[in-house]
A and B are shown apart, each in its own frame.
Chain A
Amino acid sequence: MTCSSTRSPFSQVETPAVGVSIEKLSKDFGRLKVLKEVTFAVEPGEIFVLMGPSGSGKSVLLKHIVGLELPTSGRVTVDGKDAAAEETREQVRMALVFQSGALFNSLSVYDNLALYPREHRVANEAGIREKVMHALQILSLEGTARKSPSELSGGMKKRVAIARALVMEPQLMLYDEPTSELDPVMSATISEIIATVKEDYHVTTIVVSHERELAFGIADRVGILMGGALISLGPAAELRSPQDPRVAEFLNPKIDLQHPRFKNLET
């Protein structure tokens, strides 16, 4: 699917997608080891889905890529530049779609989207209007422009958050649990949006999720994080017949009332 005709309001110059490399990344919060020597790389222009149970360190890893968390040891680079350095955010446009949306509650949807181009003065007010309306239109959100974020439903908030990221014309797009708390149809819609955005804007995409359908549906490669360590990494197709029993159980958990899992959980 190409979208070159509707691309016009965004910058004419193609900025290339960037690669991400994570080398032996460890992160401790006090005594708690959240990430243990995680190493992998994401190629420019691919969709990489990072899966794992709740509390496995997926979101923390994502925050390292945008520089919101600093590594205890190891290194994260985006386009070869250290993600922990502030200058990297000036050189590489990265957009993170937060799990909660993290929309600015004091601003209308329109102003939420217009904040980035206004602050960075990428266009005049008319140009910004065109960009914002274009992004809203891509996600079928034109009607919400004047609304406040508190008036939106959960699915709409996520779409507005994605639209706000699109306005940045990012080279790297990160999604934190984009389908959590959504009904199955809306989850599928969000997956379609992620794939479409990647296709149209050729942006490197990293999605943190624990949703199987999303991974099988749109991922080029999937990594599985468990207990802070990467236990599986490979093309999405490989996961249909996983070798590792932990991965198999994570992807196809059977409800077993005779031997309930919660009785064996570590505390």
Chain B
Amino acid sequence: MKQITAILDGFGSTWLLLVRSLSYAGTLPRQYRRFFEQCYLIGYTTLPIVAILSFFIGSVLALQAGYSMQNFGTQQFIGSLVGLSMARELGPVMVAILLAGRVGSAITAELASMKVYQEIDALVTMNIPPARMLVLPRLAATLVMVPVLAIIADLVGWFGGAIVAKYTAMISIEPEAYFAVLRRYTHFKDVLNGLIKAELFGFVVVLVCCNIGLNTRGGPREIGASVTRAVVVSLILILVLDYFVTQVLMPLQ
């Protein structure tokens, strides 16, 4: 029973935090410094790990696909498989998972320690709503940076696939042929579909991580516990949302 109320509590406070943050949207222009700082943290510093991971995801996709497709002699379609999988599914999901691990955990740790050391209380008594100063710039920066990260993940993944396709003996497909197939079967709407997913997942991850951080109570141990919870909840939400969002977006194609 306690767990159920805790989950409902989490849902409620997350929605409340979202509404509160959005109600301060008008203050964003004068918070441009915080916004750009968050863009730097959320976008730029996450870029290397996104690039490395998507490169290898694209590569392994091509490798596995080449291995199973050679039985049917359909290796020439590897480009379409890598292209669609990266754009529609793996690009956005990988970006969201990395965001949870790298940015979400840092956000929760920072806000939780601010809460535990009463900095949040100090803000409240100074009549500076934490939702305005701490949450809004992060959410706005996420909305701007996540699509950029997802596009880079797609591109790097496609290139990873192309390199494997050329240099693996059992596949041996020239990049020209690989990209020709990729372009024939991967359309703009597929990429857009992936970007919508990435945007949604990224937003949910950052919102949930902010909320868990701000609702931390106790001491240093609870900061650690909050970070763990934030990452676990984020990962669950990403994968559960992924299924339902995919189902909703499918008929719209």
A residues at B contact (CB < 8 Å): 63, 66-68, 89-90, 94-96, 98, 100, 102-105, 115-116, 119-120, 168
Interface stretch, picked from B41-49, B59-67, B119-127, B205-213, is B119-127
Chain B residues with CB below 8 A from A116, complex form: 126, 128
Please tell me which one of the listed residues A95, A98, A115, A168 contacts residue B121 in the complex, with CB atoms under 8 A apart. A98
Is the beta-carbon distance between B125 and A104 smaller than 8 angstroms? no
CB < 8 Å neighbour of B119 from A68, A89, A104? A104
Q: A-B pairs with the 8 shortest C-beta distances?
A: A102-B118, A102-B122, A89-B127, A96-B125, A119-B128, A66-B125, A116-B126, A98-B118
Q: Which residue of B lies closest to A168 (CB)?
A: B126
Q: Is B117 an interface residue (CB 8 A)?
A: yes
Is B155 an interface residue, CB under 8 A from the partner?
no
Report yes or no: A104 in contact with B127, Cβ–Cβ below 8 A.
Answer: no
User: What CA separation (Å) do A105 and B119 show in the bound complex?
Assistant: 8
Q: Inside 8 A of B117's CB, which chain A residues have their CB?
A: 100, 102, 105
- Bound-complex Cα distance A67 to B125 (A): 8
B residues with a Cβ closer than 8 A to A are: 114, 117-119, 121-122, 124-128, 133
Additional A-B contact list (8), CB under 8 Å, known A98-B122, A115-B126, A115-B128: A66-B124, A89-B124, A89-B127, A94-B125, A96-B125, A102-B117, A119-B133, A168-B126
A13 CA / B109 CA spacing, docked (Å): 42
Chain B hits for A119, CB < 8 A: 126, 128, 133
Chain B residues in 8 Å Cβ range of A98: 118, 121-122
Query: With A and B bound together, what is the CA distance between A63 and B128 in angstroms?
Result: 17
Give the residue among B124, B127, B128 with the most A Cβ atoms within 10 A: B127
**Nearest A-chain residue to B122, judged by Cβ:** A102
Find out whether the CB atom of A102 lies under 8 angstroms from the CB atom of B126. no
* Minimal beta-carbon separation of A111 from chain B (angstroms): 12
A119 to B128, CA, bound (A): 7
Shortest Cβ distance from residue A114 to the other chain B in the assembled complex, whole angstroms: 12
A10 CB → nearest B CB, Å: 16
24 A-B residue pairs with Cβ-Cβ distance under 8 Å, sorted by A, are A63-B121, A66-B124, A66-B125, A67-B124, A68-B124, A68-B125, A89-B125, A89-B127, A94-B125, A98-B118, A98-B122, A100-B117, A102-B121, A103-B119, A103-B122, A104-B114, A104-B119, A104-B122, A105-B117, A115-B128, A116-B128, A119-B126, A120-B127, A120-B128
Q: How far is the CA of A132 from the CA of B121 in the complex (A)?
A: 21
Collect the chain A residues with CB atoms within 8 Å of residue B118's CB.
Answer: 98, 100, 102
Q: Which residue of chain B is the closest to A106 with respect to CB atoms?
A: B110
Of all chain A residues, the one with the shortest Cβ separation from B30 is A121
Q: Report Cα–Cα, A68/B117, bound state, in Å.
A: 14
A90 surroundings in chain B (CB, below 8 A): 127
**Roughly how many angstroms separate A119 CA and B121 CA in the complex, as a whole number?**
16
Distance from A255 Cβ to chain B, minimum over Cβ atoms (Å): 31
Complex CA distance for A103 and B119, rounded to whole angstroms: 6
Output the least CB separation between A113 and chain B (Å). 11
Nearest CB in chain B: distance from A110 CB, A: 16
Whole-angstrom CA separation of A142 from B117 in the bound complex: 25
Is A102's CB under 8 angstroms from B128's CB?
no
Which residues of the partner chain B approach A102 to less than 8 Å between Cβ atoms? 117-119, 121-122
Nearest residue (CB) in B for A88 is B127
**Smallest CB-CB separation from B120: which chain A residue?**
A102
Cα separation A4 to B118 with both chains bound (whole Å): 34
- CB neighbours (8 Å) of B122 from chain A are 96, 98, 102-104
A166 to chain B, nearest CB (A): 12
Alpha-carbon distance between A104 and B127 when the two chains are bound, in angstroms: 15
Smallest CB separation, B245 vs chain A (Å):
35
